[in-house]
Amino acid sequence: MLQIYNTLSRSKEVFKPIESGKVKIYVCGMTVYDFCHIGHARVMIVFDMVVRWLRASGYEVLYVRNITDIDDKIINRAIENKESIAALTSRFIDAMRADSDSLGLMHPDQEPRATEFIGQMQGMISRLIEQQLAYQADDGDVNFAVRLFSGYGKLSGKSLDELQAGERVTIVGTKRDPHDFVLWKSAKPEEPADTRWQSPWGEGRPGWHIECSAMSCDLLGEHFDIHGGGSDLQFPHHENEIAQSEGALYGKGRAPSDEPFVHYWMHNGHIRVNEEKMSKSLGNFFLIRDVLKTYDPEVLRFFMLRAHYRSPINYSDAQLDEAHAGLVRLYTALAHTPSSDIAIDIESTWVQRFNAAMNDDFNTPEAIAVLFDLASEINRANGKEKDQLANTLRSLAGSLNFLQREPNQFLQAGARHTESGLSVEQIELQITARANAKQAKDFAKADGIRKQLLEQGVVLEDKPGGITEWRRL
């Protein structure tokens, strides 16, 4: 029975979908004004894992991840680049999808762009004004009146007076309260024409928070199962989403306990780099595409899922090298056990332990520990038992998107991609030369070749029958 840690209740809860057998999930996606970094990679990888496990568990999943394609940062970058909003965002949407494909991730079932839902946003704002939860200020902006919504603060667990205005909340004199946030931003004379839309409140554009409320409610309904995103979005973004969505539906009162905007809120932890907060100012800001120039995508995915999705993780080359070493161990266990049609035993201890871990709030570290135990058992087994265990390992790992390649394809790739590494042909020639030296009983030369290859990052392993296998470090 799946349990999910619900940020709203601050506890693990048994997962009960609104509609039996079906799950609707919305994840806050990228603001497309630059290339995606490893913080974005964690969101992508975590919720790819969540959706894969839900589907492996038999649920029919509708997975929506939005694209923010209108925002202050986008406008500023477009002006700086002297290009249109559409040109800028289209370029970085293509880059984001290329990064996702490089990581080997599924595409969301729907990937709505904010600019395609302006009408729905205006409709929700109108409902909030009718409910007397929103007002137009003297500067033309339409703001949400936070103190009039009785449930504000329930996601963050703080009283309104304890909360600080978030990073994207602009405090200006025309707001009734400094915590009020913008639903509709009045257009400024100097802003480009492609950043404004007609509305009942004059030309302008939506605020950031209303975008996700309108898109999720339009595509998934006013009540859906899971809403996910990074922990930095818990406040103010997700807090404001609840206020807008439930305010539009119920007015100033609280939503019924069985019909909240979202039933389960999930948040993945931060990424630190060499034990420091990741930031451009510190120079420790890594783009996905740059990391993948050096490391295999499966290594990055494995690194991310070795930690529990709610835990903060420290990113470093040493951590990625450790992740590679772990995958080497798993792939090595499969190296001499080709895929077969032997059915896995779903009642086996391995399957039961793995399922129990994943059903405990997607506990991937414990699930991966089961994979390592299974690999050790494969190394001790023989014959049909070995083949059945190997099939079990491939199957369980496959639900996490691991170990689906031919083992040598991974093992011979190495931990890091380097331009100066030996080619496969060069390695094979050296192995042949070593075999000839051994046949001629020139063992000093054979040992020298092995040592030279090792110095160049290539490990040789002699197997029965005179076979020599190799892998890169």
- Do 37 and 182 reside in the same domain of the chain? yes
| Residue 403: partners with Cβ closer than 8 Å, 6 or more residues away | 327, 330, 331, 334, 371, 393, 394, 397
Beta-bridge partners for 206: 184
Worst-scoring range by mean pLDDT, 159-173, 318-332, 401-415? Answer: 159-173
Within a domain: residue 280?
no
- Judge whether residue 349 has pLDDT over 80: yes
- Do 340 and 468 reside in the same domain of the chain? no
- Do 201 and 68 reside in the same domain of the chain? yes
* Between 431 and 108, the higher pLDDT residue: 108
- Judge whether residue 271 has pLDDT over 70: yes
- Do 265 and 360 reside in the same domain of the chain? no
**Helix, strand, or coil here: 87?**
helix
**Helix, strand, or coil here: 372?**
helix
How high is the pLDDT of residue 343?
79
Within a domain: residue 230?
yes
- Judge whether residue 397 has pLDDT over 70: yes
Within a domain: residue 418?
no
Q: What percent of the chain has pLDDT over 90?
A: 73
- Do 321 and 345 reside in the same domain of the chain? yes
How high is the pLDDT of residue 79?
94
Residue where a domain stops, chosen among 256, 271, 286: 271
Mean of pLDDT values over 424-445: 84
Worst-scoring range by mean pLDDT, 130-134, 141-145, 384-388, 432-436? Answer: 432-436
- Do 44 and 191 reside in the same domain of the chain? yes
pLDDT in tens, 288-324: 999 999 999 999 999 999 999 999 999 999 999 999 9
pLDDT in tens, 12-43: 999 999 999 999 999 999 999 999 999 999 99
* Between 395 and 414, the higher pLDDT residue: 395
* Whole-angstrom distance, CA of residue 296 vs CA of residue 251: 50
Within a domain: residue 279?
no
CATH code, domain with 100: 3.40.50.620
- Do 59 and 26 reside in the same domain of the chain? yes
User: Considering the chain, what is the average pLDDT of its residues?
Assistant: 91
Sheet holding 224-230, edge to edge: 60-65, 22-27, 224-230, 262-268
Q: Maximum CA pair distance of the chain?
A: 93
- Give the confidence band of 172 by pLDDT, cuts at 50, 70, 90: low
- Do 173 and 142 reside in the same domain of the chain? yes
* Whole-angstrom distance, CA of residue 354 vs CA of residue 358: 6
- Judge whether residue 463 has pLDDT over 90: no
Number of domains in the chain: 3
pLDDT in tens, 190-231: 899 999 999 999 999 999 999 999 999 999 999 999 999 999
Bridge-based pairing state of the strands 262-268 and 3-6: unpaired
Q: What is the CA radius of gyration of the chain?
A: 26
By CB neighbour count within 10 A (0-12 exposed, 13-18 middle, 19+ buried), where does 100 fall?
buried
Residue where a domain stops, chosen among 377, 411, 445: 411
- Do 300 and 164 reside in the same domain of the chain? no
CB 143 within 8 A of CB 180: yes
Size (the chain), residues = 473
* Whole-angstrom distance, CA of residue 306 vs CA of residue 319: 10
pTM: 0.89
How high is the pLDDT of residue 165?
45
- Judge whether residue 76 has pLDDT over 90: yes
| φ and ψ of 260, to 5 deg | -75, 170
Mean of pLDDT values over 45-56: 98
- Give the confidence band of 281 by pLDDT, cuts at 50, 70, 90: low
- Judge whether residue 327 has pLDDT over 90: yes
Q: Which residues participate in the annotated binding site?
A: 28, 212, 237, 241, 280
Within a domain: residue 82?
yes
> Domain residues for 67?
15-271
- Do 336 and 453 reside in the same domain of the chain? no
* Whole-angstrom distance, CA of residue 407 vs CA of residue 396: 16
Residue where a domain stops, chosen among 365, 381, 411: 411
- Judge whether residue 167 has pLDDT over 50: no
- Judge whether residue 169 has pLDDT over 60: no
- Do 404 and 434 reside in the same domain of the chain? no
- Judge whether residue 5 has pLDDT over 60: yes
How high is the pLDDT of residue 446?
82
Around 441, how many Cα atoms within 13 Å sit in the side-chain half-sphere?
A: 0
Within a domain: residue 67?
yes
- Give the confidence band of 280 by pLDDT, cuts at 50, 70, 90: low
- Do 322 and 174 reside in the same domain of the chain? no
pLDDT in tens, 92-128: 999 999 999 999 999 999 999 999 999 999 999 999 9
* Between 195 and 414, the higher pLDDT residue: 195
Q: Which residues participate in the annotated binding site for ATP?
A: 280
Q: What percent of the chain has pLDDT over 70?
A: 96
How high is the pLDDT of residue 461?
82
* Whole-angstrom distance, CA of residue 211 vs CA of residue 115: 9
Token digits of residue 30 = 């990228």
Within a domain: residue 282?
no
Mean of pLDDT values over 449-458: 85
Q: Which residues participate in the annotated binding site for Zn(2+)?
A: 28, 212, 237, 241
- Give the confidence band of 173 by pLDDT, cuts at 50, 70, 90: low
Which amino acid, one-letter code, is at 442?
D
What kind and span of H or E run contains 391?
Answer: helix 383-398
Token digits of residue 9 = 């209740």
Within a domain: residue 113?
yes
How high is the pLDDT of residue 341?
77
pLDDT in tens, 357-377: 999 999 999 999 999 999 999
Worst-scoring range by mean pLDDT, 261-265, 415-419, 463-467? Answer: 415-419
